[in-house]
Amino acid sequence: MAMFANEPGGAEPVASTPLGVGPSALRIIANRLGAASNATRAQRPDVLVTDGDLPSALTARLQRVPSVALGHGLVFAHCRRVPDAPRGPWLREAAKARLASVGASRVVAVNFAPCVPRDPRTTVVARPTLRANLGVRASDIGDDAPIVCYFRDDNGDAVLRWLVELGFRPLVFTNRKVDIPGAVVVRKDSDRFAQELLRARAVVSSAGSQLISECQALGIPQFALYAPGDDEQLLNVAMLRHFGLGDGAPLDAANRGMLRAFLEQPQPATSDRPAPAVDAVTAVCDAVADLCT
């Protein structure tokens, strides 16, 4: 989406339309570009903030309106490649991110890892702003605390079985039936998930950036997994491992021994975990203020 800001405390959201592949995508882009262009002329904003919406970013450039691009994927286009991250996936994600930030005056690359901007004058790496329902993690986490599990594509059954076989009690958030004795199933619920995170011994999950960020902020050990062909989650795991923030593996190469080794090893203290210094909201506000001066 894009946000047009022209008065303190005022903003009008413009919803984005997900794009597919083919002729329909071109029509959608054309329609969205027209809508963004009309809204920009009507609002006459001082700054346009967009979270990866190509028509809005392109409109800002064509109408010479300063813009701030915000998003996780922007690290791939605007930061130096992490040494342990595979070059091919990094370049593919970078190509997509460059389109989403075309012509941006400032870039806020949101990530859990302290990646290095290619141009510190225009790009800042910021940590995600946490959900309001996340509190303070309990200080007395015991060995009997649950292993919280969430798999975006409901493809973690083998992992759940391994956890049970290792003597752990996986608490899996899903809306489908899971027939694995020993695994506790909880329907997806944001508040309940936040509550369980605060008392989790560890998290075993898919490698989404937001959940990784929450685990880092709360000091929760995490083993992250990704499906073959998922470039973004592969790179998330590469960064997780490079900076010593956790561990992970592709789903088709993971095994019970990996999980045992991870769950038995000491974890770094929260204060020892490297992280971007500024949060995303502050970074965006700073960028807007800079462009308005």
CATH of the domain at 205: 3.40.50.2000
Residues 268 and 155 in one domain: yes
Backbone angles phi, psi at 71, to 5 degrees: 165, 155
Short-list 137, 55, 131, CA closest to 99: 55
pLDDT digits (tens, 9 = 90+) for 149-195: 999 999 999 999 999 999 998 999 999 999 999 999 999 999 999 99
Q: Alpha-carbon distance 105 to 103, whole Å? A: 6
Sequence-separated (6 or more) residues with CB below 8 Å from residue 105: 66, 67, 68, 122, 291
pLDDT band of residue 227 (cuts 50, 70, 90) is very high
**Arithmetic mean of pLDDT, 215-232:** 93
Share the mean pLDDT of the chain. 86
- Residue 142 maps to a domain: no
Q: Which is more confident, 275 or 83?
A: 83
Distances (CA, A) of 250 to 49, 222, 229, 253: 35, 14, 10, 5
pTM equals 0.84
Q: Provide the domain limits for residue 114.
A: 2-128+277-292
Q: Say how many domains are in the chain.
A: 2
Whether residue 141 lies inside any domain: the answer is no
State residue 120's pLDDT score. 95
